[in-house]
Amino acid sequence: MNDINLFSARYKLLNDADLIAIVDSPDDYQPTAVDAATIELQSRQLTPAQVDEIRTRASTNSQLQPSQQQNLIRFKKSIFKKLNIDNQPLSKATRYINIITGAVGFFFIMAIMFGDTSIYKMMFSAASYNINFILIALPYVLLPLGTLLFGLRKKSGWIMLSAASTYIAAQLLYFEKKNLLIKADRDFGDMISYNELIVESLVLLLFAVVAIIMCRKDIRDIFKIDIKIMLFTMAVAVTVLVAQIFRLV
């Protein structure tokens, strides 16, 4: 009797559907628990029609729940597929894409936080705008935008990031050569520190590697980039740099 009283106090807090579930599954509960549920259910004076309606509703909900879970699973899979994230091992091309996106994105954030942002400030000044400034500022716009779109597997992202990486790598290669000559000069060597040379070399290495890896066929296939588009993109980037160096614009 004490056990029934214990269950009765607890079952008063349950709803009708939970009580009916206990009564309908006597093998899953202690006899005293089933008896207490039966007594509590009888005290609520539900009609047979109400009991049948509650059973029907509970059965429908139990059938809908797996369906909802399946819909959720399908939704997650569609999102993961769009982002190339799944439970299968990532392909080498996908790993390269993720690494490039993360590395270039991290570099851009560090450059904004600790580097020279004068170019970005000048973009908000109408007096700065001329053809030469636009060509100089273009890579600084293409780099973050291209990185974002590249990470989203957009063809335009490959083109922008490839052009920016090629331009930056070629530019640093040109100026690094000049800086090394200055550093080797006995009279002007102090104008450039070894730290500057090391940092520029590391940045040059980063964008040179990025530009080279992006030309891999398996990566280009993901972005639907053929040889002609690849060569044209790189040629435009180098042409812009050459035009700036020799002041052709």
Query: pLDDT tens, 63-80?
Result: 545 555 566 556 655 655
Residue type, 26: P
Instruction: Please report the pLDDT score of residue 147 as a whole number.
Output: 93
Which residues are within 8 A (CB) of 49 and not within 5 positions of it... i.e. 6 or more apart?
none
Strands (E), the chain: none
Taking the CA of residue 3 as centre, how many other CA atoms within 13 Å lie in the half-sphere pointing to its CB?
A: 7
Give the model's confidence band at 112: pLDDT under 50 very low, under 70 low, under 90 confident, else very high.
confident
For residue 187, what is the enclosing H or E element? none
Q: How far is CA 163 from CA 13, 204, 226, in A?
A: 67, 14, 15
Q: How far is CA 55 from CA 7, 40, 46, 62, in A?
A: 22, 17, 12, 11
Spell out the domain ranges in the chain: 2-82, 92-245
Instruction: Please report the pLDDT score of residue 48 as a whole number.
Output: 82
Which of the pair, 137 or 132, is modelled with greater confidence? Answer: 137
Give the model's confidence band at 232: pLDDT under 50 very low, under 70 low, under 90 confident, else very high.
very high
Query: Is the pLDDT score of 36 beyond 90?
Result: no
Query: Is the pLDDT score of 20 beyond 70?
Result: yes
Give the model's confidence band at 141: pLDDT under 50 very low, under 70 low, under 90 confident, else very high.
confident
Give the model's confidence band at 176: pLDDT under 50 very low, under 70 low, under 90 confident, else very high.
confident
Instruction: Please report the pLDDT score of residue 249 as a whole number.
Output: 44
Which of the pair, 5 or 135, is modelled with greater confidence? Answer: 135
Query: Is the pLDDT score of 55 beyond 90?
Result: no
Which of the pair, 247 or 76, is modelled with greater confidence? Answer: 247
- Report the C-alpha gap between 158 and 94 in whole angstroms: 13
Query: Is the pLDDT score of 194 beyond 50?
Result: yes
Residue pair 249/147 in contact by the 8 Å Cβ criterion: no
Q: Among 137, 163, 156, 154, which residue's Cα sits nearest to residue 215?
A: 163
Instruction: Please report the pLDDT score of residue 1 as a whole number.
Output: 47
CA–CA–CA angle 192, 195, 196 (5° rounding): 50
Residue type, 174: Y
Instruction: Please report the pLDDT score of residue 24 as a whole number.
Output: 85
Instruction: Please report the pLDDT score of residue 86 as a whole number.
Output: 45
Sign of the Cα torsion 204, 209, 212, 213 reads negative
Task: Please state, for a pLDDT cut of 70, what percent of the chain lies above it.
Answer: 68
Sign of the Cα torsion 143, 148, 151, 157 reads negative
Query: Is the pLDDT score of 207 beyond 80?
Result: yes
